[in-house]
A and B are shown apart, each in its own frame.
Chain A
Amino acid sequence: MIKLEKIHRNFQVGEQTVHALDDINLQISQGEYLSVMGPSGSGKSTLLNLIGMLDHATSGQYYLNDQNVTEMNEQQEAAARNKHIGFVFQAFHLIPRLSARENIELPLLLAGIDSEQRRPKVDQALQSMNLIDRAHHKPDQLSGGQRQRVAIARATITEPSVLLADEPTGNLDQKSGADVIQTLESLNDRGITLIVVTHDSHLGKRSMRSLKMVDGRIESDKLADNTR
């Protein structure tokens, strides 16, 4: 379902060209749980942004559900992002003036779904994330773990096929981090493709497939020993 062919992503820094992604060929099937690891600056986040259509390849082809993303215009990309991709960020990226409920329903709002249809979906998401009693709380009234669960609920509210998580436990204590990982994995168990960028080798070992990146290249791509 995700297919990257000869992907290059170059950045111009002064007179120097930085190869953030260098000849990436990758195929990810529906329902896979993939961890992307590697040192800082190895191109992990660039790869995630590219898969999430937040960034564009300098060259190469990207197919998502057999659709050539590299040929899409900005509007089509935005619609595809809304429908197929969910993002979970290290910094949560919740809108501070909106309540947990309002943050969660944002993707539905952008999809043009009316409030009558939104309400049961958001209620269900709040329930599944055990946040029903926090529905009207603003982000600053929530703990780190709760904020990340709101972010996960928001990422999955449109039932995307791919969930991209960039260091999802980076800002959390151990217990909250473990809860969040469990939540993400349970979503993967229900069929969502989960791609996690992490520095955490323990988390990497829990995934089905582990990708190691160095200097914009895939150094290793192997099925991990699943200790889950």
Chain B
Amino acid sequence: MLSSDIILYGWKSLKGYRSRTILMLLAMSISVASVLLLTALGEGARRYVTGEFASLGTNMVIVLPGKSETVGMGLSTMMGVTPRDLTLDDAQALTRHPAVTRIAPLNIGAVEVSWQNRKREVTIMGSTQEILELRHWKLLAGQFLPKTDWDRATPVCVIGKKIRDEIFGAHSAIGQWIRLGDNRYRVLGILASEGRSLDIDVEDVVIIPVASAQSLLNTPSLFRILIETRSREAMQTVVDFAIGTIKQRHHGEEDVTVVTQDAVIQTFDKILSALTYAVGGIAAISLAVSGILIMNVMLVAVSQRTAEIGLLKALGASSQKILILILTEALQLSLLGVVVGFILGLGGCWGIRLALPALQAYPPIWAMLASFIVAISTGLLFSLLPAKQASKLDPVNSLQGH
């Protein structure tokens, strides 16, 4: 039998048993599509999160108060000692390293903002002029915080676009005095929307000098210190310098955590990659499970087509030929399932990208290859038993429909 005739015969069988074919196609294609969709979502989320962290700044080192490790029943735990505050002086001390190009101490809190009779709750961020460059933010109008001494609590602020719209409406915001808590601050500028990132929504924030924030929030402690280094290579030196300096300033106690932006990105990258593999794996299992459905349907098909198989044998088909015919049919079905699954999966990804443009949901190449290979091998593997059963049918009994 010629290969083209084998393929054509299989195709006619698939067309002849339409509902059976559609059922199997559905099982196969939904499984393939879910592999593509889930991995695309995982990969999209990974790209999104790592991209967001990358957008935090360039060559950034972050100093956080407290030590992020399990200390067990150490002296400090027994004595009930809490980590020392991370102060403006600590931040100032870190500017001494030559590889440090910018430093932005950070305080974050929530207070009520009001202007005339309009008020709402806002996130306030206390920092210095350098945060603008360090975080690659842009100004929509006016100017940013002035370059002054860090401990000088100047009553000025820069507000996000959303706050301007909600508080000032059609009025001009620049130069106006707003009330934050009990204090009044003059609006110097409006932040542009660029630079909206994972940690902060620049449209919905009020930035004031760090000393003003400490006074407003009534805390001497900083939330973070952001450090920009001269180069990527210098980051580790700066990390060591920051740990050493703060330890020295905190009487020999290493009570801060210093992380690099790369480390954070790598961690998220690893977590989200693992998540992508996991969801891809789960979907691949569902693909393999669809193989069991194929096997069941093929077994039913063989029992329904017993007389046909008997006839083919009577007309001169060997057992091997019957095996090839059934396997070719399964292969065609699997291929069709993969094609429909790819159309559904890629179409679904396109839909997700339309609905959530930030999530660049493209299925990874490995997932496409894996779903193709798993689908084809599943289809073939699970059709082997029905095909073998068909090839071993006794022609006399088969022709009698037994």
Q: Is the CB of A82 within 8 A of B319?
A: no
- Measured between beta carbons, the chain A residues less than 8 angstroms from B16 are 96-98
B320 adjacent to chain A (CB < 8 Å):
yes
Q: Does A13 contact B (CB under 8 A)?
A: no
Name the residue of chain B whose CB is nearest to the CB of A52.
B314
Q: Is the CB of A78 within 8 A of B317?
A: yes
Q: Which of B280-313 contact A (CB under 8 A)?
A: 307-308, 310-313
A residues in contact with B1, CB < 8 Å = 109-112
Q: A49-B396, A97-B16, A112-B1 are in contact. Are A154 and B316 (CB under 8 A)?
A: no
User: Number of contacts between A and B (CB, 8 Å)?
Assistant: 69
* Residue numbers in B under 8 Å from A55 (CB-CB): 396
Q: How far is the CA of A3 from the CA of B210 in the complex (A)?
A: 110
Of the candidates B308, B315, B399, which one forms a contact with A107 in the assembled complex, judged by CB atoms under 8 Å apart?
B315
Residue B270 at the chain A interface, CB threshold 8 Å: no
B395 touches A110 (CB 8 A): no
Give the nearest-CB partner of A97 in chain B: B16
Q: How far is the CA of A82 from the CA of B315 in the complex (A)?
A: 5
- A199 at interface, CB cutoff 8 A: no
Considering the complex, which residues of chain A in the window 106-124 have a beta carbon less than 8 Å from any beta carbon of chain B? Answer: 106-107, 109-112, 114-115
In the assembled complex, the Cα of A97 lies from the Cα of B395 at a distance in Å of 20
* Complex-state Cα separation, A82 to B318, whole angstroms: 10
B319 touches A109 (CB 8 A): no
> B9 to A109, Cβ gap below 8 A?
yes
Contact: B316 with A78, CB < 8 Å?
A: yes
Interface flag for B13 (CB, 8 Å):
yes
Q: Mark A89-103, 1 if CB is under 8 A from B, else 0.
A: 100010111100010
Given A55-B396, A112-B1, A97-B15 contact (CB < 8 Å): yes
Given contacts A75-B318, A93-B307, 18 further A-B pairs with CB under 8 A are: A49-B396, A54-B396, A75-B320, A78-B317, A78-B318, A81-B316, A87-B314, A93-B311, A93-B399, A95-B308, A96-B16, A98-B16, A102-B12, A109-B2, A110-B316, A111-B1, A111-B316, A158-B316
Closest 3 CB pairs of A and B: A82-B316, A97-B16, A78-B318
Interface residues of A (CB under 8 A from B): 49, 52, 54-55, 74-75, 78-79, 81-83, 87, 89, 93, 95-98, 102, 106-107, 109-112, 114-115, 154, 158
13 A-B residue pairs with Cβ-Cβ distance under 8 Å, sorted by A, are A52-B314, A75-B318, A83-B316, A96-B16, A97-B12, A97-B16, A102-B12, A109-B2, A109-B5, A110-B315, A112-B1, A114-B2, A158-B316
